[in-house]
Amino acid sequence: MRMRALLMAVVVVFVGCKKSDTVDAGPPVPPKPIERALLDSPNTLSVFEAADGKCVWRQEDPLTEKRVVLATFEGACVGLRVAWSVDTTKAVVGFDPQLVQSAGYSSQASTPPAYADEVVDPNAKPRWFFVDMKTGKAEPLTPPSIEKNELREVAISTKGDVIALLEEAVPEDAKGTIKSGDQTFDLSEITEGIPVLVHAYRRDGAAWKRFETKLSTTGWDYGLGVSALDAATDVGVKSDKLLDSHSETDTFDDATQKQLDKFKPAKAKTEDDGAWTGVEFNGHTVYVWQVSGEFAHNTGLAVTKAGPLPELGFTDGDLAAYSSNGSLLLISKSDVGTHARLYSFPDVKLVFRSDTARTVTFWPKPRAR
């Protein structure tokens, strides 16, 4: 009996020691998110399209027919703005209800636009998201809300910070100097336009911290607004720039001008009604009808010497955005990127078209920080 008791004691001590040596591992570590492979060919487009009451963002290569879904957002695709990081793996995606399809201009000499103006939904609210393309995570983003300030842009700086650019109205009766924080600005420097203060904020966790303020102007053709900020140029690619109706254009000889006369709008009689300009890319030229006010704008009337581009669908009454990548030319409605058409040259072949997608652009080329 005594020997048996000793053995039991040894077992108890042994088990007790073993139990005390056990380390608590804590809760299980969640697996790392799976990173998807993004398309990286120069043919890749950025496309937003409505599906089942949601807005789906994808990459699409029309030449290889490859697609990668990047993120899905609740609600309509109207009012889209995209601001990429410089390496193009992240982006801020915004939905601005005021940004809808419209002709952009009209004149007595212009043809009616091919596509009707859209109506702003008075019940729609702005929405913003920070998107990680590799994981597909779309995080709701709340921009800074400052009294008497209007949000103009949300973007990603070259350092990877999310920044917001705001515009603050200056009191109408303000004279002499005006203070903002510890800075003082001289209003006498403003000789044209409406003076405004513009501010740049950087996201810091859940808070926003102001890091730049300048005096700027709005209300006239040369008013810079928030573009006067240094922070406005220290960012990645933005869809607003890609969908602008301005582009690099070239002049050409009188013989070509005369050859193109047969394609010009029927009501165009003088230079004030518009003129042909050349959009050159990779050794190819497309001739675009351009109209001018204070600045020149490209319309949707585009031809080669052989004739109009096939199935383009726009008229000289539509303002259009033109961009190229290699021998590919992308044309869409300016500002909103609707009714996109992608052509390959020199055969002038239509390789992509959509009348349902929005904010269609080429996928930006990544840059090093």
> Are 103 and 317 within 8 A, CB to CB?
yes
Among 234, 266, 298, the domain boundary falls at 234
CA–CA separation, 73 and 71 (whole Å) = 7
47: exposed, middle or buried (Cβ count in 10 Å: 0-12, 13-18, 19+): buried
Contact (Cβ atoms closer than 8 angstroms) between residue 106 and residue 147: no
| Same-domain status, 261 and 358 | yes
Q: What is the pLDDT of residue 107?
A: 87
pLDDT at position 293: 79
Residue 3 pLDDT class (50, 70, 90 cuts): very low
The gap from C-alpha 279 to its chain's centroid, in whole angstroms, comes to 22
The predicted pLDDT at position 7 comes to: 37
Is 266 a residue whose pLDDT tops 60? yes
With b for 16 or more beta-carbon neighbours within 10 A and e for fewer, the 226-246 pattern comes to: bebbebbebbbbbbeebbbbe
Q: Is 187 domain-assigned? A: yes
pLDDT for 106 equals 82
267 occurs within a structural domain: yes
Q: What is the pLDDT confidence band of residue 18, given thresholds at 50, 70 and 90? A: very low
Residues 336 and 283 in one domain: yes
Same structural domain, 204 and 276: no
Among 5-9, 113-117, 303-307, whose mean pLDDT is lowest?
Answer: 5-9
Number of domains into which the chain is organized = 2
Residues 280 and 342 in one domain: yes
189 and 273 fall within a common domain: no
Look at residue 50 and tell me if it is in a domain.
no
Asked if residue 309 and residue 212 are part of one domain, the reply reads: no
Residues 286 and 339 in one domain: yes
Could you tell me if 79 and 98 are in contact, meaning their C-beta atoms sit under 8 angstroms apart?
Answer: yes
Indicate the residue type of 219. G
Q: Is 51 exposed, middle or buried (0-12, 13-18, 19+ CB in 10 A)?
A: exposed
271 with 321, same domain: the answer is yes
Please name the residues in contact with 312: beta carbons below 8 A apart, sequence gap of 6 or more. Answer: 300, 302, 331, 341
The reported pLDDT for the residue numbered 30 is 60
Q: How far is CA 142 from CA 8, 164, 167, 294, 315, in A?
A: 66, 10, 17, 36, 39
What distance, in Å, lies between the first and last C-alpha atoms of the chain? 79
Q: Are 225 and 216 in contact (CB under 8 A)?
A: yes
The tens digit of pLDDT for each residue in 324-357 reads 999 999 999 999 999 999 999 999 999 999 999 9
Question: What CA–CA distance (Å, rounded) separates 201 from 92?
Answer: 15
Print burial letters for 341-366: b (CB count within 10 Å at least 16), e (below 16): bbbbbeebeeebbbeebbbbbbbbeb
pLDDT at 2: 42
In a domain, 287, yes or no: yes
292 falls within a domain: yes
Mean pLDDT of the chain: 90
Structure tokens at 302: 């585009």
- Closest among 135, 112, 46 to 363, alpha carbons compared: 46
**Domain check: are 198 and 268 in the same one?**
no
pLDDT digits (tens, 9 = 90+) for 102-147: 988 888 889 999 999 999 999 999 999 999 999 999 999 999 999 9
Same structural domain, 263 and 229: no
On the question of pLDDT at 268 being above 90, the answer is yes
Q: Is residue 10 part of a domain?
A: no
Decide if 128 is inside a domain. Answer: no
In a domain, 30, yes or no: no
Q: Are residues 179 and 230 in the same domain?
A: yes
Last residue of a domain, which of 234, 263, 286?
234
Residue-level pLDDT at 246: 86
d(CA 114, CA 92): 31
Q: List the domain range (segments joined by +) for residue 301.
A: 254-362
* Nearest alpha-carbon partner for 164 in 101, 94, 98: 94
